[in-house]
Amino acid sequence: MLIVRPIRHSDYNALRAIAEASGHGFTSLPVDEALLKRKIARSEASFAKSVTQPNDEGYLMVLEDQGRVVGTCGIEAAVGSTDAFYHYRLGTDVHVSEKLGIRREVQTLTLCNDYTGASELCTLFLLPQWRRDQIGRMLSRSRFVLLAAFAERFADRVIAEMRGVSDEEGRSPFWQWLEEHFFGIDFPTADYLTGIGDKVFVAELMPRHPIYVNLLSDEAQAVVGKVHESTEPALALLEAEGFRFNNYVDIFDAGPTVECQRDAIRAVKACQKRRSLLVEPDQLNGDYLIGNGRLPDHRVIRSGAMMGEGADRVGLSQAVLSALKIEAGDPVWILPM
């Protein structure tokens, strides 16, 4: 049975293997032992913490298949709570000369911290062997069960940064232009420094004035707001949930950031709290994500269910109840796949 649960310190080796498999551009999982262990410890503390409003919590979960960790996903409760959270805002600068009859519209990139305080969907990665049977969809949507069950822990605005375009060696056309003119360090190095929380160089070296997009190299212009091909399925899933691009891009690879109000996310709206009933396995049907709504031992599984026992009840098998670590009569959160 597939189970999404909070990460534990014993998952370090599995998380490191996932970090190594994720490749360049996956900023939230750099291959760094100290950082990964800090992420695990921070997540354990966040799940155990009593929270009435979002702050500097980070919730990291793993997907377990018969005891093996095969994927991960996470949510940052409020980005920018302890350090600056940067984006480029894509805007338009209009130049008009009535006398000469000339009007020009030029796209600009302006450094900003506009998403400070938003919750962020992050760290979604599934090992290639498990990219089948909508397992990736399960892993992605499991985060919405957490958002629905514990709304007080998250902001009204939810964002997701999409990985931008880079090649197999980690070279980003957008960053190559910035590197040449401002930074002097390559993309993997900048990506790694950000991943380990060392963002001082951004404030020190990033252009202080808006960048005119038409002055970028042709290669850099072509990737502004574009996603890495491996990220296209993740973007499609979020767009189906109501997330939209609102002209903010990553400062390193110019990948798009998408956003949605928490309570407007389709999966969050569809997630229902019901009382569990014990039924026989042959009475189950459909395809659902079912969460136990408990902390710190939050769990989400994928299973059939019997939904015909009243609007506030759901029938589950003993195997499902056991996997969720609950008993018949306990409440659950259920979301159609």
CATH number at 6 reads 3.40.630.30
Distance CA 39, CA 11 (A): 11
Q: Looking at residue 26, what is its pLDDT?
A: 63
Residue 105 forms part of a structural domain: no
Kindly name the residue from 87, 95, 181, 228 that is annotated as catalytic: 228
From 221, 246, 267, the end of a domain falls on 267
172 neighbors 166 (Cβ within 8 angstroms): yes
From 238, 267, 296, the end of a domain falls on 267
Closest CA to 142 of 241, 25, 54: 241
Q: Looking at residue 159, what is its pLDDT?
A: 97
Q: Length of the chain in residues, anyone?
A: 337
Q: Looking at residue 201, what is its pLDDT?
A: 63
Pair (181, 260) in one structural domain = yes
Q: What is the DSSP letter of 229?
A: G
CATH number at 301 reads 2.40.40.20
Pair (175, 315) in one structural domain = no
Pair (279, 262) in one structural domain = no
Pair (147, 37) in one structural domain = yes
Region of residue 67 (phi > 0: left; psi between -120 and 50: alpha; otherwise: beta)? left
Pair (189, 43) in one structural domain = yes
Answering whether pTM is above 0.85, one says: yes
Pair (172, 230) in one structural domain = yes
From 249, 267, 285, the end of a domain falls on 267
Catalytic status, residue 228: yes
- Taking the CA atoms of residue 133, residue 159, residue 162 and residue 142 in that order, the dihedral angle to the nearest 10 degrees is -20
Integer Rg of the chain from CA: 22
Q: Looking at residue 116, what is its pLDDT?
A: 95
- Which mean pLDDT values do the consecutive 10-residue runs of the chain (337 residues) have? 95 92 70 89 96 94 94 94 88 86 89 94 90 91 96 96 83 85 72 62 74 91 91 89 95 93 96 93 92 95 84 91 94 94
Q: Which domain holds residue 147?
A: 2-86+113-267
Q: Looking at residue 27, what is its pLDDT?
A: 65
- Give how far Cα 50 sits from Cα of 18, 55, 268, Å: 29, 11, 22
Q: Looking at residue 7, what is its pLDDT?
A: 97
Residue 97 forms part of a structural domain: no
Pair (72, 143) in one structural domain = yes
> What's the number of domains the chain is made of?
2
Q: Looking at residue 169, what is its pLDDT?
A: 73
Residue 100 forms part of a structural domain: no
